[in-house]
Every structure is written in structure tokens, then in C-alpha cells.
């Protein structure tokens, strides 16, 4: 039985919501986007701003811009992440400083962060890897001591909690979520900036749409000011459409149910793969919640097979998989710019050479999970 790496989890409510927008005559940023922002802020527990954007990448860019990051500054980023986490600093002319990750959670190592700080450091960008919360308490203490801002890359982590708090409610400068097609909830393409700081929220709202000082929707809906607006900064084109927001609202309403089904599949994996020479991803600490966006496994150092053998078995059986991630120091651009070697990142490098991400999505059936388990167990027999 073939098993895809990912399959969309959509029902009629999502389809009807999108069709309703298509029939409304208003497709771009408007009432659906405003409602999505309100509902997402409520899902965070209230007391925060939620600013919808067209991707996590654009949201990260806006957050770093709002923090005043620019040429001559340094931003500390984990080596084990997707390139977007790092590239947004380069958009602004800042330099990226890569830090190794912790061997268990694969989130940024706070002690490596400390060793990476220089007089030019302005920000730390932790990633909640795979949906498991990073150690924000320790990172916040480091940031406070050195006068740094924290901008969380939460692309993997809705609706997770860490340290007893919803990710997005830890009081950092900003937290940015992703709604890409294979994320825990989707708008096709999209993201959300969450912050409790009024000035940060206002800056992000202004800069996401050309630096216009007024809400775009109101300008075309009988606002007494009519067509009048001002450009207060050279902004970007990062707004989310109402089509995407309508999809996001329905996905948001089902988010906890979809997360529960991913957690059930993760638990089945953990039980079915127990006893093999495989290191399994840890669950969240007691009282916290893992988003289970990814299920990354890694062969033990003494495993009798190599990753290539496991890939062959999965390919033969028609089972999808991926690798998250090739460490950024091995990517041509980052290696060429900074000339970093494996010796600087022993944890990320060792993990990469032995890892695979197994299929994990809310529409996954129990028999599909069992098929993946069977193929992997047979690969070791």
C-alpha cells in the first residue's frame, strides 16, 4: 500500500468558505482576513495582535524590520532549519550567525547562542523544530542579559505549548506562524505574526502593504476619508487574500481536532518503532503540547543499516518521506558566504547524516501508519 508523505485535510466547510468569498465580489484583503486575525488572536488566548501575511517568510522579514535589524547587525539562527529562517536577515543587510542545536529536541542550543553573541548581535531567532517548543525561558534570560530581541520562527508549531504557555504568548518581540500547504493548518500560502506590542503590530501592518497608513479594505468600503491615504515608509506587498483567510478560518476551527489525530499517529509510530536501532522524536514535557508537524527519526550510530538502505525500502514500498533539514552550513550560499564546516555543528551534522522524516498528517489513516511501521521493521530484519 502506497502512503504519501502528505495529504491535505479539507472538508466541505473549507470548500464552501472559499466559494462564498469567490461569490462575494471581494477577493483580496478584507473582512475574512480581519476575522481570521481576530480568531487567531483569540486562539492564542487573547491579549495579542495577529497580523496576517502571505507567508511565514514575509512575516519573519516584517518582524525583523520592525526590530530595526539592518546592515552591520548580526542575527543568531539555528543551523538546522529551512533557509527562510536565515535569509530574511540578509534581506535587511544583516549577517547570519549559525548556532548548533540540542541533540534531543533539535531546537537551538542556548549555550551555543551565548557563545555566538558579539557586540553586533541584535536578535535571536529560535525555531520550534517539528512542532516541539524551544527552551524560551532560557533564551529569554540570555536575551535580557544582552539586550537582544527574540523573534520566534513558529512555522512548525501551531497549536503547541511550551513552558505552560501557548507558543505566541511568551512575551517575545514577535512570533511568526506558517500556513503553507503541508503545515498543521493551511491557507495554501500564508502566515501570521503574533505580538503583544502595539507599536510592533502597527509597524508590521503598515509595512505589509506598501507602507500605506490606512487599512486597504476600508479605502474601498465607504470610509469617510475615501481615497485619501499616505505612504509613510517604503513597504512591501505581503498581505493575505480573503480567499486564503476563509480557508484559514475553517482550518483554525478544526485545528485542535487535526492536531489530536496527528498526535495519535505519532503515538502509534512511537509504539510500533520501539526497540529498533532508531532514535525517536521526544514528546513535549508534561503539561505541554507538541504540534506534531514532523516525525523525524534517526538511525542510531550502531544501526546495522544506513539511511540509504531505509530510503530504498521506503521507495520500493511507495512510501513518501523527507529530510528536515540539510544543515544550512552545507548549503552553497551559506557555505560560500561564511565558510563554515561540519566541525562547528556536530549535532546538526550527525543528525542530518542519519535522519528521515516519516509521513505525519491529520488525514493519515491508522492502516497507513501501520504500513510505514511494517516497512521500516522489515528493513531491519
pLDDT, tens digit only, all 381 positions of the chain: 999 999 999 999 999 999 999 999 999 999 999 999 999 999 999 999 999 999 999 999 999 999 999 999 999 999 999 999 999 999 999 999 999 999 999 999 999 999 999 999 999 999 999 999 999 999 999 999 999 999 999 999 999 999 999 999 999 999 999 999 999 999 999 999 999 999 999 999 999 999 998 776 555 555 556 678 899 999 999 999 999 999 999 999 999 999 999 999 999 999 999 999 999 999 999 999 999 999 999 999 999 999 999 999 999 999 999 999 999 999 999 999 999 999 999 999 999 999 999 999 999 999 999 999 999 999 998
Indicate where the chain has its CATH 3.90.1150.10 domain(s). 255-380
**Per CATH, the architecture of 255-380 is what?**
Alpha-Beta Complex (3.90)
Of the candidates 178, 250, 247, 252, which has an alpha carbon nearest to the alpha carbon of residue 22?
A: 247
Question: Contact at 8 Å (CB) between 75 and 84?
Answer: no
Tell how strand 165-166 and strand 174-178 pair up: unpaired
Beta-carbon contacts of residue 350 (< 8 Å; ≥ 6 apart): none
- Annotated catalytic residue within 122, 165, 183, 271: 183
Give me the DSSP letters along 299-317.
Answer: E-TT-SS-HHHHHHHHHHH
Indicate where the chain has its CATH 3.40.640.10 domain(s). 12-253
Class of domain 12-253: alpha beta
Angle (CA) 59-60-61 rounded to 5° is 90
* Sole residue written with cell 501508519: 369
Is 183 a known active-site residue?
Answer: yes
Whole-prediction pTM: 0.96
**Nine-digit cell at 155?**
512555522
Amino acid at each position: 500500500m502506497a502512503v504519501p508523505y502528505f495529504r491535505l485535510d479539507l472538508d466541505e466547510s473549507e470548500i464552501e468558505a472559499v466559494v462564498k468569498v469567490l461569490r462575494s465580489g471581494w477577493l483580496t484583503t478584507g473582512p475574512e482576513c480581519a476575522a481570521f486575525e481576530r480568531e487567531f488572536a483569540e486562539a492564542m488566548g487573547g491579549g495579542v495582535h495577529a497580523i496576517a501575511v502571505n507567508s511565514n517568510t514575509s512575516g519573519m522579514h516584517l518582524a525583523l524590520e520592525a526590530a530595526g535589524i539592518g546592515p552591520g547587525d548580526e542575527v543568531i539562527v539555528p543551523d538546522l532549519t529551512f533557509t527562510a529562517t536565515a535569509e530574511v536577515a540578509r534581506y535587511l543587510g544583516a549577517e547570519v550567525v549559525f548556532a548548533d542545536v540540542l541533540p534531543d529536541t533539535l531546537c537551538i542550543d542556548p549555550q551555543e547562542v551565548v557563545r555566538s553573541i558579539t557586540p553586533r548581535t541584535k536578535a535571536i531567532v529560535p525555531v520550534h523544530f517539528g512542532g516541539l517548543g524551544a527552551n524560551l525561558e532560557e533564551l529569554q534570560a540570555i536575551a535580557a542579559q544582552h539586550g537582544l530581541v527574540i523573534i520566534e520562527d513558529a512555522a512548525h508549531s501551531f497549536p503547541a505549548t511550551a513552558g505552560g504557555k501557548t507558543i505566541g504568548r511568551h512575551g517575545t518581540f514577535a512570533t511568526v506562524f506558517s500556513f503553507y500547504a503541508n503545515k498543521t493548518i493551511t491557507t495554501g500560502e500564508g502566515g501570521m505574526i503574533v505580538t503583544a506590542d502595539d507599536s510592533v503590530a502597527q509597524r508590521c501592518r503598515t509595512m505589509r502593504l506598501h507602507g500605506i497608513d490606512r487599512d486597504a479594505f476600508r479605502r474601498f468600503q465607504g470610509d469617510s476619508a475615501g481615497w485619501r491615504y499616505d505612504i509613510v515608509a517604503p513597504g512591501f506587498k505581503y498581505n493575505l487574500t480573503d480567499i486564503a483567510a476563509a480557508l484559514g478560518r475553517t482550518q483554525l476551527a478544526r485545528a485542535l481536532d487535526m492536531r489530536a489525530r496527528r498526535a495519535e499517529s505519532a503515538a502509534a509510530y512511537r509504539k510500533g518503532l520501539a526497540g529498533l536501532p532508531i532514535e525517536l522524536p521526544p514528546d513535549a514535557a508534561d503539561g505541554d503540547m507538541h504540534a506534531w508537524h514532523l516525525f523525524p527519526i534517526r538511525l542510531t550510530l550502531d544501526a546495522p543499516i544506513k539511511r540509504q538502505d531505509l530510503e530504498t525500502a521506503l521507495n520500493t514500498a511507495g512510501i513518501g518521506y523527507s529530510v528536515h533539514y540539510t544543515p544550512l552550513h552545507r548549503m552553497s550560499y551559506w557555505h560560500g558566504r561564511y565558510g563554515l564546516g561540519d566541525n562547528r555543528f556536530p549535532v546538526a551534522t550527525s543528525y542530518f547524516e542519519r535522519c528521515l522524516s516519516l509521513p505525519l498528517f491529520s488525514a493519515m489513516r491508522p492502516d497507513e501508519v501501520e504500513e510505514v511501521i511494517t516497512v521500516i521493521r522489515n528493513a531491519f530484519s
